[in-house]
Amino acid sequence: MQDNKEFGNVLIVGLGMIGGSFAKSLKQQGLATLFGADRRAGELTLGVSTGVIDYPAQLDADTIQKMDIIILATPVRAMESVLAEIKPHLRSDTLLTDVGSTKGSVVAAATKVFGAAPENFIPGHPIAGAEKSGVLAANPHLFEKHMAIVTPLPDSDPELLDRLHRLWRAVGADVVSMDVEHHDHVLAASSHLPHLLAYTLVDTLANADRSQDIFRFAAGGFRDFTRIASSDPVMWRDVFLANKDATLATLDLFTDRLAEMRQAIVEADGASMYGVFTRAKSARDHFLRLLEQRTIGKPQQKQISMAVAPASAVNGEIKFTGDKSLSHRALIMAALSDGVSELGNVDLAGDVKITMQALRDMGVVIEEFGHGAVRIHGVGRTGLRAPIAPVNVHESATSLYLLLPILAGQNFPVEVIGEGALLNTPFTHLLELLTRSGAQVTSAPADCLPFKVTPAVIKSVSGELPGSPSSRLVSSALLLSLYAEQDSEFKGQIAIDAQTRGLFSAFGVSMSGSQCLKVMPSPLEGAEIDLPSDLQQVIWSALLAVLLPGSSLQINEVSTIGRGRLLFDLLPKMGVQIDWLSEPQGLFSTRSFKVSFAKLKGIHLSPAEVYEYREFLPLLAVAAVFAQGDSSFEGISQLPYFYEDRMTTLVDGVNHIGGDCQWQGGVLHITGKVPEGGDLDSAGNDLVALAFLLLSARCRNGAVVRDCQKILEQIPNLEEIAVMLGLKASVHI
Ligand SMILES: NC(=O)C1=CN([C@@H]2O[C@H](COP(=O)(O)OP(=O)(O)OC[C@H]3O[C@@H](n4cnc5c(N)ncnc54)[C@H](O)[C@@H]3O)[C@@H](O)[C@H]2O)C=CC1
Ligand SMILES: O=C(O)C(=O)Cc1ccc(O)cc1
C-alpha cells in the first residue's frame, strides 16, 4: 500500500453512485488509496472489478485507524449508525465528512453519537448527481464544474477544512461554504421540492383513469419534468424525513402559488397567467445562462476577437434596431406608467436585458413579440413589488444609473448588487445626487456596490449636477425627479436633449425651459412609441460608407433631433454629404438618408461640442484619423473619467498600428494618416471596439480587434450586419 499519495488512505462508506464517483475520480488521478465499505457486499465486488476502489473493507478498528479521510455516502438516515460504528476507532486527525443531501440531520446524528460534533467532522454536499444509483453508475467526471457545498461547524479544525476544500477541488468541483441551516432551506427549495413534485405527479397520473394513454402520449415536457422521479426511493424518503421543516416551508409557499394559479384558471384571468409565465420564462432563461457559464466555462473569460480585412465598398439599405439609451429608458418609463405601453423597435440585447429582468423581478409584465416589439403592463410610479432576491445589475452601469433612482422612490427596502468590474467602481456622483435629494442609500466602502436602498421621501432634485455630468447621471436625475415632492429645476451644464424631452412628453411628463429646466412630477401615462435606429450604429455605418470608395448606403429611420444633430451639424463640417430621402416624422423627427464615399476634412471640437457628442468621440476620432489635415478635440479631461479612459484606449490603439494621435495640454490632436494595420486591443470597451472595427476597415492591411465580447453582447448581430454591408469581418474565439 502506498502512502505517498496526496490524500493518503480514503474510505468511502456507502459505495453507490455518489461514493463510487468520488472514489473513481480520486483513484484515476492517483490521488489516494481507495477503500470501500457497504452493507451490500456485491457493490464492493463490483467496485473492485470496475476500478472504482482498491480494497473492500469493514468498519473495524484495523481499517478505521489507518484512514486519513472517511467519506460517508450512504442515504442520510443510515449515517447515525455508521457514525456509531466508526466512533470507537476514529483518529482525531482523520477528516470525517459526508455527501448527504441534508445537513442539519447529519450534524444532529454526529452530535448524538459523539456528544458534540467532533472537530474533525466537517459535513459536505456535492450539487451534482443523477437519477441513477449504485456503484455501476459511478462517473469520475460527475463533479466537474459543479458546486460542492461545505458546512463547517464552529469548532471544525481549519487544517482539515482546508483538506476538504482541496479534496473537492481535486474532483473538479467549485467549493462554497455556508451554514447548515441556510443549506437546508436553499436545498429544500432548489432540490427537495422538485423531487417531491416529480414523484407526486407521476404517481398521480399513473393511478389516474386513462393512465395508459397519459403515458403513451406524454410529450417531451412530461419526460423533462419527471426525469428525477426515477431517483432512488430510499435516498429520497430519507431526505424528506431528515429535512422536514424546511421542506414544509417551501411546499406551503408553492401550494399557495398553485392555488393562485388555479384561481386564475377558474376566473379565466389570462393576464395573471401571462405575468407568471413571462416572469418564470425570463428568470429560467437567465438562470440557464448562468448555469451554462458554470458548466461550459465562463464566457466573459473567453477572448473574442474580430478580424477585419481591408474592405472595398459598403452598399445597400439598412435599418438598425432601436437606440440603446432610448430603449432602456422607454422600458423603465413604460413600467412606471399607469397603463399599457406598446413599444416598437426596442433594442432588447445586452444591458437592456438586465434592466428588463430587474423590472420583471419586481412584478412588471413585459410581453415580447419579436423584432423589438414589446407590450409593457405598467404598474405605476410606486407600484413595483419587492423582489425576492437583491436586484442584480451584473456589469451594467447603465442599468444601475437608471434603476437606482426608481428604487429610491418605492415603498420597500431593496439591495442592489453587481458583478465584475462594477464592484470596484465608485459611484460617488450618483450617490451624491440621490442622497442630497433625500433618498436613503447606503453603500459598501468607497461608494461601491452593493447598495441598500430604503424608502424615503424625495424632496427635490434641483440644482447643478455633480461634476460635468455623464449622460447616465442626467438620466438618473430625470428619473429621480419623477418621485420628487416638488418640481425639479436643473441649472447650468445640463442640456436635456430633444430626444429625452420627446420621450418624457410621450409618457405625459412635462418639462419647460431650456437653460433652467423644470420637471413636474406627475403620474406617467402609457405610450405608443416606435424607437429610432441606434445612433452609434448609424454613425458607424455612415462613416464606413464615407471611408470606403465606391460606397453608397441608405440608412432608414434615424432620429435627427438631440444627438441626431450630428448628422446636420458635425459630419457635414467634416466633408460628409448627407442626402435626405424623407421628411422628419413622428416624436423623434425620424428621417432616412443616403451617404456615399467622401474625402474627409479635419475638424476642431470645442469643449462644448466634445461634451455634447461625448458618446461619439471614438467614432469621430477614427474619422479624423482618415481626414486630410489636423483635428483637435478640446475638453476631454473635463468629462467624467470613463470618457477619458475610453479615449486613452482608442489613442493607444491608433498609434500602435501606425496612426498619429497626441495629447498636448489636455487637447487631443489627430493628424490624418492611413495606418498600416495590426492588432487593436479594445480593453473590453464596446464603443472603442466599434470604433476600431471602423478603423480596421480602412487600414492598409486590415486589423484584428481584440476583446470584442462586450460589443457582441450589445449588438449580437454585429457580424451579420458587417457581412450584409460588405465588410469582411469574422469573429474568432
Ligand atoms: N443521487 C444523487 O444525485 C445525490 C445524492 N447525494 C447523497 O449521496 C448519498 C448517496 O446517494 P447515492 O450514491 O445516490 O445512493 P446509492 O443508492 O447509489 O448509494 C448508497 C449506498 O449506500 C449503501 N448503504 C446504505 N445503508 C448503508 C449502511 N448502513 N452501511 C453501509 N452502506 C450502506 C447502499 O448499499 C448503497 O450502495 C445520499 O446521502 C444522498 O443524499 C448527494 C448529491 C447527489
Ligand atoms: O438528478 C438531478 O438532476 C439532481 O437533482 C441530482 C441531485 C440530487 C440530490 C442532491 O442532493 C443533489 C443533486
Q: Give the SS3 label for residue 556.
A: strand
Is the separation of the CB atoms in 533 and 319 below 8 Å? yes
Beta carbon of 102 within 6 Å of any ligand 2 atom: no
Is the separation of the CB atoms in 226 and 202 below 8 Å? yes
Dihedral angle sign, alpha carbons of residues 262, 263, 267, 269: negative
ipTM: 0.98
> Of 488, 514, 530, which residue constitutes the final position of a domain?
530
Task: Give me ligand 2 centre to Cα 126, in Å.
Answer: 9
> Which atom of ligand 1 lies nearest, measured to the CA of 128?
44
Task: Give me ligand 2 centre to Cα 146, in Å.
Answer: 11
Predicted local distance difference test score (pLDDT) of residue 292: 59
Angle formed at CA 247 by CA 242 and CA 248, multiple of 5 degrees: 115
d(CA 10, CA 168): 13
Predicted local distance difference test score (pLDDT) of residue 1: 47
> Which atom of ligand 2 lies nearest, measured to the CA of 100?
11
Instruction: Look up the CATH number of the domain holding residue 202.
Output: 1.10.3660.10
> Of 497, 530, 563, which residue constitutes the final position of a domain?
530
Kindly state whether residue 435 falls inside one of the protein's structural domains.
yes
The residues of the chain scoring below 70 in pLDDT are 1-3, 219-220, 286, 288-302, 466-468, 491-495, 513-521
Task: Give me ligand 1 centre to Cα 128, in Å.
Answer: 13
Nearest CA to ligand 1 atom 36: 16
Residues 6+ apart with CB under 8 A from 67: 8, 9, 10, 11, 35, 91, 94
- In 127-232, DSSP assigns E strands to 147-150, 174-177
The length of the chain in residues reads 733
Q: Which ligand sits closest to the CA of 229?
A: 2
Going from the C-alpha of 22 to that of each of 32, 147, 148, 477, the distances in angstroms are: 11, 14, 12, 55
| Ligand 2 pocket mutation, candidates 74, 99, 127, 240, criterion most atoms within 8 A of CB | 127
Q: Which ligand sits closest to the CA of 133?
A: 1
Is the separation of the CB atoms in 119 and 91 below 8 Å? no
Backbone angles phi, psi at 572, to 5 degrees: -60, -35
Is the separation of the CB atoms in 458 and 441 below 8 Å? no
Residues 6+ apart with CB under 8 A from 553: 314, 315, 316, 317, 318, 541, 542, 544, 545, 594, 595, 596, 725
DSSP characters for 570-599? IGGGGT--EEE-S--BTTTTEEEEEEE---
Same domain? 280 vs 341:
no
Largest CA distance in the chain: 92
Is the separation of the CB atoms in 136 and 108 below 8 Å? no
Amino acid at residue number 654: V
Same domain? 463 vs 546:
no
Same domain? 87 vs 204:
no
d(CA 403, CA 397): 10
Instruction: Look up the CATH number of the domain holding residue 45.
Output: 3.40.50.720
> Which atom of ligand 2 lies nearest, measured to the CA of 130?
1
Predicted local distance difference test score (pLDDT) of residue 361: 86
> Which atom of ligand 2 lies nearest, measured to the CA of 101?
11
d(CA 190, CA 239): 13
Is the separation of the CB atoms in 297 and 694 below 8 Å? no
Beta carbon of 228 within 6 Å of any ligand 2 atom: yes
619 C-beta neighbours (distance < 10 Å), count: 25
d(CA 641, CA 340): 39
Predicted local distance difference test score (pLDDT) of residue 485: 86
Q: Which ligand sits closest to the CA of 43?
A: 1
> Which atom of ligand 2 lies nearest, measured to the CA of 125?
11
Closest CA to 440 of 398, 400, 412, 465: 412
d(CA 610, CA 612): 6
Going from the C-alpha of 667 to that of each of 35, 69, 604, 663, the distances in angstroms are: 72, 66, 10, 6
> Which atom of ligand 2 lies nearest, measured to the CA of 191?
5
| Ligand 1 pocket mutation, candidates 60, 64, 70, 74, criterion most atoms within 8 A of CB | 74
What's the burial of 707, exposed, middle or buried (CB within 10 Å: 0-12/13-18/19+)? buried
Q: Give the SS3 label for residue 369.
A: coil
The alpha carbon of 219 is separated from its chain's Cα centroid by a whole number of angstroms, namely: 32
Q: Exposed e or buried b for every residue in 557-578, given b needs 16+ CB within 10 A?
A: bbbbbbbbbbbeebbeebbbeb
Helix, strand, coil: what percent of the chain each, to 5?
45, 20, 35
Task: Give me ligand 2 centre to Cα 22, in Å.
Answer: 15
Predicted local distance difference test score (pLDDT) of residue 434: 93
Closest CA to 325 of 273, 248, 402: 402
The count of domains in the chain is: 5
Same domain? 613 vs 658:
yes
Task: Give me ligand 2 centre to Cα 135, in Å.
Answer: 16
| Ligand 1 pocket mutation, candidates 13, 15, 18, 133, criterion most atoms within 8 A of CB | 18
d(CA 75, CA 133): 11
Count helices and strands in the chain by DSSP H and E runs: 26, 31
Kindly state whether residue 104 falls inside one of the protein's structural domains.
yes
Nearest CA to ligand 1 atom 37: 16
> Which atom of ligand 2 lies nearest, measured to the CA of 231?
1
Angle formed at CA 26 by CA 22 and CA 27, multiple of 5 degrees: 110
Predicted local distance difference test score (pLDDT) of residue 297: 43
Nearest CA to ligand 2 atom 1: 130
Kindly state whether residue 4 falls inside one of the protein's structural domains.
no
Nearest CA to ligand 1 atom 40: 100
DSSP class of 360: H
Task: Give me ligand 2 centre to Cα 653, in Å.
Answer: 49
Kindly state whether residue 170 falls inside one of the protein's structural domains.
yes
Beta carbon of 562 within 6 Å of any ligand 2 atom: no
d(CA 447, CA 45): 61
d(CA 500, CA 538): 18
Dihedral angle sign, alpha carbons of residues 401, 402, 408, 414: negative
371 C-beta neighbours (distance < 10 Å), count: 10
Q: Which ligand sits closest to the CA of 196?
A: 2
Task: Give me ligand 2 centre to Cα 179, in Å.
Answer: 20
Angle formed at CA 267 by CA 266 and CA 273, multiple of 5 degrees: 90
Task: Give me ligand 2 centre to Cα 635, in Å.
Answer: 58
Residue entry with cell 447515525: 80
Same domain? 295 vs 373:
no
Is the separation of the CB atoms in 41 and 60 below 8 Å? no
Task: Give me ligand 1 centre to Cα 188, in Å.
Answer: 18
Kindly state whether residue 3 falls inside one of the protein's structural domains.
no
Reported pTM: 0.62
Predicted local distance difference test score (pLDDT) of residue 518: 64
Same domain? 292 vs 350:
no
Beta carbon of 127 within 6 Å of any ligand 2 atom: yes
d(CA 590, CA 592): 7
CB-hemisphere CA count at 13 Å for 331?
Answer: 32
Predicted local distance difference test score (pLDDT) of residue 495: 63
Predicted local distance difference test score (pLDDT) of residue 731: 80
d(CA 672, CA 657): 14
Is the separation of the CB atoms in 192 and 243 below 8 Å? yes
Nearest CA to ligand 2 atom 12: 127
d(CA 672, CA 712): 29
- In 567-682, DSSP assigns E strands to 578-580, 590-596, 604-605, 630-633, 661-664, 667-671, 678-681
> Of 135, 150, 178, which residue constitutes the final position of a domain?
178
Going from the C-alpha of 510 to that of each of 383, 525, 583, the distances in angstroms are: 21, 12, 26
Predicted local distance difference test score (pLDDT) of residue 313: 86
Task: Give me ligand 2 centre to Cα 128, in Å.
Answer: 6
Task: Give me ligand 1 centre to Cα 38, in Å.
Answer: 10
Task: Give me ligand 1 centre to Cα 257, in Å.
Answer: 33
Same domain? 332 vs 414:
yes
Cis peptide before 455 (omega within 30 of 0): no
Task: Give me ligand 1 centre to Cα 17, in Å.
Answer: 7
Question: Cell triple for residue 335?
Answer: 413600467
Kindly state whether residue 307 falls inside one of the protein's structural domains.
no
Closest CA to 344 of 586, 560, 567: 586
Dihedral angle sign, alpha carbons of residues 496, 499, 501, 507: negative
Q: Which ligand sits closest to the CA of 36?
A: 1
List residues near ligand 1 (CB under 6 A): 13-19, 38-40, 43, 73-76, 78, 81-82, 99-101, 126, 129-130, 133-134, 232, 235
Which run of H or of E encompasses 546? Answer: helix 535-547
Task: Give me ligand 1 centre to Cα 592, in Å.
Answer: 68
DSSP characters for 198-220? HHHHHHHHHTSTTHHHHHHT--H
Kindly state whether residue 204 falls inside one of the protein's structural domains.
yes
Backbone angles phi, psi at 159, to 5 degrees: -65, -40
Amino acid at residue number 314: V
Predicted local distance difference test score (pLDDT) of residue 312: 76
Q: Which ligand sits closest to the CA of 14?
A: 1
| Ligand 2 pocket mutation, candidates 147, 168, 191, 247, criterion most atoms within 8 A of CB | 191
Is the separation of the CB atoms in 493 and 465 below 8 Å? yes
Residues 6+ apart with CB under 8 A from 198: 225, 226, 227, 228, 229
Same domain? 164 vs 49:
yes
Domain span at residue 167 reads 9-178
Predicted local distance difference test score (pLDDT) of residue 23: 98
> Which atom of ligand 1 lies nearest, measured to the CA of 74?
22
Same domain? 420 vs 454:
yes
Q: Give the SS3 label for residue 708.
A: coil
Nearest CA to ligand 2 atom 2: 130
Same domain? 254 vs 274:
no
Task: Give me ligand 2 centre to Cα 204, in Å.
Answer: 22
Same domain? 551 vs 675:
yes
Amino acid at residue number 718: L
Task: Give me ligand 2 centre to Cα 131, in Å.
Answer: 7
Kindly state whether residue 630 falls inside one of the protein's structural domains.
yes
Q: Which ligand sits closest to the CA of 139?
A: 1
Beta carbon of 73 within 6 Å of any ligand 2 atom: no
Q: What is the CA radius of gyration of the chain?
A: 31
| Ligand 2 pocket mutation, candidates 190, 196, 231, 236, criterion most atoms within 8 A of CB | 231
Same domain? 564 vs 698:
yes
> Which atom of ligand 2 lies nearest, measured to the CA of 228?
1
Task: Give me ligand 2 centre to Cα 233, in Å.
Answer: 13
